[in-house]
Structure 1
């Protein structure tokens, strides 16, 4: 004998206009984490503090930082440095640049990220594909052997504008 079929009523979502749907989808694409939502209904002093914490997360977690965390950070920093230093030198050679520039690129980005970043699981620094593209792009324009100063200036200009573009994407997210 077959069991009787049960019918469940389901609530329908509220009716929305096409404009409301479009507005919601655009806001989800452009602002998935709603960074400005925390600023609503706050005093100007609190807004200033929230803005500083947004751009400099160290202000938020810094007061809770302790010696045990510092010890762990030193150990992890030395471990990563043992890999990042030779890797940075190698990537500088891939781009036909001086090895010291690889050391700078292994040291400066993590230093800046420690102040401006908030993720514990991110690696910043040079990558092989960017080094290869940089070396190929610059070798087509100028020889690094014949005119090393111009080669270096072009490399610094390209990286400056790439960094400017990435910084603007981060600020305008």
Structure 2
């Protein structure tokens, strides 16, 4: 495969996890490849490369998107958040990540980044999301290890924490 000349590369500027990015890229480069190989944010995984498995899910301007179906040039001027953007400045786990840890909601971890992004977006919009809404979001993600039960439990626990609900019965439901 031949490298494109500088004239065939285009500038893309966006915000990634709160930090400005200003790079050149080829027109056909997928967002997954760009953020993993050009920027080094390897938390976003490449699974099926068809938008089916959800492993590559990132947040673009507040909405979940499949990075394997998005060209890097399409995000010019956007705010993008990957799983690396879920932790605070001190590197501490967020509410949802902590709930995943406590509930053993991951095993191999391959699908986890995409699931965390999708659930984080849901809970940011609606911390009162119920089990049915959580399961609806999870229909866009394939997980071969967990059976989804601990993921749902972790998401319900995180939702309760975000609402300030410390009632253990609501969390253990």
Q: TM-score, normalised by structure 1?
A: 0.27
The structure with the greater share of residues assigned to strand is 2
Whose RCO is larger (CA < 8 A, sep 6+)?
2
The structure with the greater share of residues assigned to helix is 1
Which has the larger Rg? Answer: 1
